[in-house]
Amino acid sequence: MHGLLIVDKGTGITSARAMDPIKRALRMRRRVGHAGTLDPFATGVLIVLFGDVTRLVDSLLALPKTYRATVLFGQETETLDREGKVIARADPGTSAPSDLGAALVEFTGEINQIPPAYSALKVGGKPAYQLTRSGRAPELVSRRVTIHGLRVVEDRWPELDLDVVCGSGTYIRALARDLGKRLGLPAYLCALRRTAIGPFAADDGVQVGWKREPTRSAVLAAIRPPLSITRAVGIPELRLTLSQSRVFIRGNTVKMASTHEIGTTYAILDDTGEYLLGIGVINPDGSLRPKKVLPHMVDKITRRSQGPAQE
């Protein structure tokens, strides 16, 4: 089993627990992972990877994430979401501040953001939330994150529904906190749904943690091939001959007959263009160096080979 599955996670379960019904349906216990996490109260897209495809998880980090976030102004909680104790209150007034539009613009693009104290971010080898709960709140350092898009989709002041498109490492809870500070009000995230990761949309996902567990047939029918990852990310493709494929899939450098740009990373396909063999980089001498290979393709390529490999 080697592929990708879009999961639409329900509320009240962790990302790790959301994979349990999938593992049961596929009768798999190992080599199953997910790209990115969602807090238990949040819903929406999780990308689950199986088998050799777990090697490609880093490729998914470049994909933008799209959220529908509901922010409540006038209160702040210790966790910056609805799960925590309220630690601050203020009168939000009867309508949104007049400078809301300007504030949204200020939070678009590359911004500095301090992660929440209650987060899984590692500090000294331990998750920040563990240190915070033990009374040793860590000193978290501001870091650069990217907000590609930020707009109000519904105003029910003191609640706002926001559409957020952001890069990897962005905390929507921290965005709610900081937007509130910019407007002079405490604020927290009271609902969150990740509607998409790149082209992978929640509406196309297998529902987990909703009314019923997914069936084995439903999960099998929804699994996508490894090529769906590299094509979603937009990695250029390079097709090898059958003999070159035999060399590459075993982790060896491939001599190339044609010239390719040095240092370019390619998604490496077999001679049919149907199967992803892995990811490779062009060396200074023009040869192709494997960066990541998908070992399950060894048998398929070997069975199709006729005669000895030619480099």
Residue-wise pLDDT tens digits, 22-66: 999 888 877 888 888 898 999 999 999 999 999 999 889 889 999
Residue 227 clears pLDDT 90, i.e. is over it: yes
- Mean pLDDT is lowest, of 136-140, 181-185, 209-213, 253-257, for 136-140
Give the pLDDT mean for 185-213: 94
- Mean pLDDT is lowest, of 82-96, 164-178, 201-215, 231-245, for 201-215
- C-alpha separations of 79 from 117, 124, 128, 176 in Å: 7, 20, 12, 12
Q: Is 214 within 8 Å of 207 (Cβ atoms)?
A: yes
SS3 270: coil
Give the pLDDT mean for 234-251: 95
pLDDT band at 207 (very low <50, low <70, confident <90, very high): very high
Q: Is 225 within 8 Å of 269 (Cβ atoms)?
A: no
| Chain segment 107-127, per-residue pLDDT in tens | 999 999 998 887 777 777 777
CATH 3.30.2350.10 domain position(s) in the chain:
3-63+199-230, 65-197
Residue 77 clears pLDDT 60, i.e. is over it: yes
pTM of the full structure:
0.90
pLDDT band at 310 (very low <50, low <70, confident <90, very high): very low
- pLDDT for res 305: 64
Mean pLDDT, the chain, whole residue set: 91
- pLDDT for res 309: 44
Q: Is 301 within 8 Å of 287 (Cβ atoms)?
A: no
CATH for the stretch 3-63+199-230: 3.30.2350.10
Identify the H or E element spanning 239: strand 237-239
| Chain segment 248-288, per-residue pLDDT in tens | 999 999 999 888 999 999 999 999 999 999 999 999 999 99
pLDDT band at 173 (very low <50, low <70, confident <90, very high): very high
Higher pLDDT, 93 or 311: 93
User: What proportion of the chain, given as a percentage, has pLDDT over 90?
Assistant: 73
CA distance 96 to 93: 8
CATH for the stretch 65-197: 3.30.2350.10
| Chain segment 127-162, per-residue pLDDT in tens | 777 777 777 777 788 899 999 999 999 999 999 999
39 is catalytic: yes
CATH for the stretch 235-304: 2.30.130.10
- pLDDT for res 87: 95
Residue 203 clears pLDDT 80, i.e. is over it: yes
CA distance 42 to 199: 20
Catalytic residue among 8, 20, 39, 91: 39
pLDDT band at 306 (very low <50, low <70, confident <90, very high): low
CATH 2.30.130.10 domain position(s) in the chain:
235-304
CA distance 187 to 158: 9
